[in-house]
Every structure is written in C-alpha cells, then in structure tokens.
Chain A
Amino acid sequence: MTETSTWATKKGLAQMLKGGVIMDVVTPEQARIAEDAGAVAVMALERVPSDIRAAGGVARMSDPSMIEGIMAAVSIPVMAKARIGHFVEAQVLQALGVDYIDESEVLTPADEVNHIDKHAFPVPFVCGCRNLGEALRRINEGAAMMRTKGEAGTGNVVEAVRQLRDVLAAIRRLQGMREDELFVAAKELQAPYELVRQIAAEGKLPVVNFVAGGISTPSDAALVMQLGAEGVFVGSGIFKSEDPARMANAIVQATTHFDDARIIAEVSKGLGAPMRGIAMESIPESERFAVRGW
C-alpha cells in the first residue's frame, strides 16, 4: 500500500535537511545564489526580518507569484511563512505546493489564542519555540520540525543561544526525573504528558530541531551547532551582509565542520562586513518577535 504525506515523510524531510543551512530569500536571483552557495532549502518571503522590523505595520504571507517564481528557480526544497493561526494562508501555501510551511512569529500573528492545527495538513510545518514547553505544544499540534526563535532580524545570536540552552537543559532535567515526577513536569511545562514521558526516555525531541533568529557569521552557526542544534536558519544574516554569496558559502562550510576551529577560521577570512546587529536592550518588549506564539 502506498501512502503520501505520512508522519515519516513529513518528519523525514527535516531529517534530510540536518547539518544544513536554510536561507531567507526574497527573489529568484537570491534563491539561486543560496542554492549555489550550498543551502539545503530556501525560505521564500517578501522581506527579510530586519526589513520587516524596520517597516513595521502588519507582515503577512508573501505574494504567491513571488513564491512560485522562487519554486521555479531552484531544485532544493522551498519553505514559506504563514502567520501564526492563519490556517487559510497555510492552505494557500499548500495549494502552491511549497515543501514546508513555517508558522512564523516573524509575521504578525492572526490569532492570539490558537495556532494552526497542523495535523490537518498534508504539507509539513516547522514552528518556532523559546523553550521546551512551547516546542512540545507545537509538536502536539502537528509540527514536524522545530526551530528555536532567537530574535529575528537583529544579527544578534544571544537569544538563539539562550533558547537552545533552555530547550536542551529542560530535556536533560526530564531525563533525571523519577517516573512519578513527570506528571508535575508536564503540568509545569504545559505540555502533553505522553510527549514529556517520551522525551524523558529518549533524551531528545521527537522531531529535528534547528536554530533561527540572529545567526550572522560562520562562528555563530558553529556555536549553535556545538551547543546541539541540528542545523541553522539564516534570515537577514546573508543578504544583509556585504558579500552574500561568500557569507552564505562560509556559513554552509562552518555548519558542516562546526567542531573544527581551523576550518572555521579558514572560511571566515575576508568575508566583508556581516549585517549590522542590534543590541537586545534597544528593542522594546512590544517589538520583539520571539514573544509571539505561546
């Protein structure tokens, strides 16, 4: 019997992306540069997060014709973003045939209570999280891949590091608990007990976990890989740098050879200026993307 869009194929595509770099692109030309540089997938969107941050207003799903243009330009998987809770944007993206949907806090949420019921879609979803509880709620809703949110469009890796450490430390704590302590742990994480138990037993999330939001140099990518990320999303960090093709390639190399400092040094030479970064203290709470989603 042949079955399409099974859990194994949804989760499996993310497994094939591991150890790779997924790059934000806004045009077919950028998509080709990303593919040539070794990206494992591209995220098609209208503006990179730093421009969304600068523009303000409501950020929505991209124009379908732009997404189709990018799908036609490259042979690697194409992802696209829908607003949190906006299941019709997700239906539209699925109808276009994108390979993965990112229910993303970088866009303005459409629902302040509910996320999309991702089990209801044949297309797989990736979702952001800041901590283990949030990750498990998204997985329970059907996310087949996770990424920590970081703080997109800042060029500052500090939130990505904090959140990845949070997720992994929480998993280690669960592993050390007695069976009878997991019930309360589930309550405190606000996560389904069955998933909590599974993670306590296996010591890892049941889906692939990437890092996003603030990666802007090869060393940033290697840092989160050494901490335990399974791959990286790079948004503004590539096409807001001085030499995007070289920066993209260098981040790809550093993600593969994340534990070899001599190689990271080699690929980091003469890359030109990375994107300009923003200190967290200068971003008011109300303008932070990571607090969107719950």
Chain B
Amino acid sequence: MSAASMSAASMAAAPGTPVRIGVLALQGAFREHLETLAGIGVQGVPVRLPRDLAGIAGLILPGGESTTIRRLIARWELRGPLLDFAASGAPMFGTCAGLIVLAREIAGGEEPILPLMDVTVRRNAFGRQLDSFETDLAVPVLGDTPVHGVFIRAPVIERVGPDVEVLARLDDGRVVAVRERNLLGTAFHPELAGETRFHRLIATMAAEHRDRADGSGHRLQATRGGAAAGSSSAA
C-alpha cells in the first residue's frame, strides 16, 4: 500500500487515462467533493441511485447527517449495490458522516449502515457545534506537509481492527484517519480546507483498480461474483 500512497502524494491520477469517481449525492457536502475532484482533473459523478454506480472506479461518501444518509440508502436500495461495489475492490473514501456510513460498529448501539471497515466510531464525539474546531494533523502517508483538519460535530474512531492502518491522530492520541485495504476514512473534512491529497490518493487507487479490472477480464468477473455473494450473505 505504501507504493500507492507515495505515488498519490507526488502526482495526480495518471494523465491520459481518465478515471471517474462517484460521489454519493443523497445529502450533504457532495458538491465540495465534486469540485475538489474537478480541481485535480478527475471527473466526479453524483450517485443517487444504484444505476449511477455503473462506470465509476471509486466512490466518495461525503459529510452530511448520517441519520439522513442511512435512511436514503435504505429507501433507494443502495445498500446491496454499495456492498458489492466495495467487495469488487473499488476504493471508497468516507469523510465525517461518510466514515460513519462505512464503519462496522457505531458506539452507543446504533445499527451499522454499510458494515465494511473494521472500526468503531462514535458520532458527535467532541460535543455539539460549539466544540467544532480546526487543527493541523500529521498524516505521514501524504508527505511532510500537515493536513489542515476541519472537524464539524465530528466523529472519532475509538477502535481499529488488526488490518486497519492508522493514518492520523490528534495530539491526544485519538484516531481521526484510517485505511483498510480499499477503504479510507477521515473524521474531518479535507474538502473544506482546499486539501487535495486524499482525493489524489483515491483517484490513484481507483485508476489501479480499474487497470486491474481491465487487465484480468474473466478472472475478475469470477472474483467479483464470489465477493458479491459473500457480501450479501453477510448482510
């Protein structure tokens, strides 16, 4: 994985091989993610219905209200297709509410939404809006320049599974950015701070995923079918 992150930190998505990244556009700050993608020359596609997942190589789950997004995912039967999309190996990046959507466990007993990432998150972990804050974070996989984190009624990651890589912590040690294979999550909003490195990273991961899919035809079809079946039996 470090090769992927090194290349992401140093360059945009491979020039000449356009890759399309979906942004879940049910509710929240999806426009900011689409603009951030446009700013690094990557085509973003709003995703509201299962059919919108066709032809995209990665997906961003934006900030918003997770209770609302949960309801809209259920109503439009996106859960199965999103789990299949993740199982295909396509990268997914959740910010704030998007991280909550990806988490396998939500502290306090709420049902998980797309149990994908082996983490436990706590909603509104810092308090109410008056406790929202900005701070600089060291994120070594993105290089030496710190990431400016904007935390808005933000969640925190209370537990990480054995396969989860911690990408950033607050000064007090609390975990606020993680990666597990093709899944990325941050408790803060890079899209509100003009930060593009996470988007470059997912674009690079998406291009690699797409190239793998192009390069290994039938074998991948079989893998995808098997993975999808696995995810629906878990669901």
Q: Which residues of A contact B (CB under 8 A)?
A: 1-6, 8-9, 12-13, 15-20, 35, 37-41, 71, 75-77, 94, 97-100, 122-124, 249, 252-253, 255-257, 260
Most central of B48, B71, B123 by chain A CB within 10 Å = B71
Is the CB–CB distance between B27 and A13 below 8 Å? no
A6 to chain B, nearest CB (A): 5
Is the CB–CB distance between A40 and B48 below 8 Å? no
Is the CB–CB distance between B65 and A17 below 8 Å? yes
B110 to A, closest residue via Cβ: A75
B127 to A, closest residue via Cβ: A97
B214 to chain A, nearest CB (A): 32
Measured in the bound complex, the distance between the Cα atoms of B127 and A123 in whole Å is 13
Is the CB–CB distance between A99 and B129 below 8 Å? yes
Assess whether B124 is interfacial by the CB under 8 Å rule. Answer: yes
- Nearest first, the 7 A-B pairs at minimum CB distance are A99-B129, A9-B132, A2-B135, A38-B71, A40-B65, A19-B27, A4-B133
Chain A residues closer than 8 Å to B219, beta-carbon distance? none
A7 to B, closest residue via Cβ: B134
Is the CB–CB distance between B189 and A12 below 8 Å? yes
A182 to chain B, nearest CB (A): 25
Measured in the bound complex, the distance between the Cα atoms of B25 and A257 in whole Å is 10
Is the CB–CB distance between A8 and B128 below 8 Å? no
Is the CB–CB distance between A20 and B153 below 8 Å? no
Task: Please report the total number of B residues contacting A with Cβ < 8 Å.
Answer: 38
Is the CB–CB distance between B135 and A256 below 8 Å? no
Q: Of the candidates A2, A8, A77, A260, which one forms a contact with B129 in the assembled complex, judged by CB atoms under 8 Å apart?
A: A77
- Can you list 14 A-B pairs, Cβ within 8 angstroms, ordered by A? A3-B133, A4-B131, A4-B132, A5-B132, A8-B192, A8-B193, A12-B150, A13-B129, A16-B28, A16-B97, A17-B28, A18-B29, A20-B28, A100-B129
Q: Of the candidates A13, A124, A256, A260, which one forms a contact with B72 in the assembled complex, judged by CB atoms under 8 Å apart?
A: A256
Measured in the bound complex, the distance between the Cα atoms of B29 and A20 in whole Å is 10
Measured in the bound complex, the distance between the Cα atoms of B69 and A76 in whole Å is 12
B93 to chain A, nearest CB (A): 16
Q: Of the candidates B25, B68, B133, B153, which one forms a contact with A6 in the assembled complex, judged by CB atoms under 8 Å apart?
A: B133
Assess whether B218 is interfacial by the CB under 8 Å rule. Answer: no
Q: Of the candidates B25, B65, B130, B189, which one forms a contact with A94 in the assembled complex, judged by CB atoms under 8 Å apart?
A: B130
Q: Of the candidates B29, B67, B68, B133, which one forms a contact with A2 in the assembled complex, judged by CB atoms under 8 Å apart?
A: B133
Measured in the bound complex, the distance between the Cα atoms of B208 and A155 in whole Å is 52
Measured in the bound complex, the distance between the Cα atoms of B133 and A97 in whole Å is 15
B128 to chain A, nearest CB (A): 5
Interface residues of B in 107-160 (CB under 8 A from A): 123-124, 128-136, 150-153
Assess whether B41 is interfacial by the CB under 8 Å rule. Answer: no
Chain A residues closer than 8 Å to B150, beta-carbon distance? 8-9, 12
Chain B residues closer than 8 Å to A257, beta-carbon distance? 48
* A256-B27, A256-B48 given; A9·B134 CB < 8 A: yes
Chain A residues closer than 8 Å to B67, beta-carbon distance? 35, 38, 75-76
Assess whether B31 is interfacial by the CB under 8 Å rule. Answer: yes
Q: Of the candidates A5, A20, A71, which one forms a contact with B65 in the assembled complex, judged by CB atoms under 8 Å apart?
A: A20
B69 to chain A, nearest CB (A): 9
Chain A residues closer than 8 Å to B180, beta-carbon distance? none
Is the CB–CB distance between B134 and A8 below 8 Å? yes
Measured in the bound complex, the distance between the Cα atoms of B148 and A117 in whole Å is 29
Is the CB–CB distance between B192 and A12 below 8 Å? yes
Known: A18-B31, A256-B72. 9 other contacts (CB 8 A): A1-B135, A5-B133, A9-B129, A16-B29, A19-B30, A97-B128, A98-B128, A252-B71, A252-B72
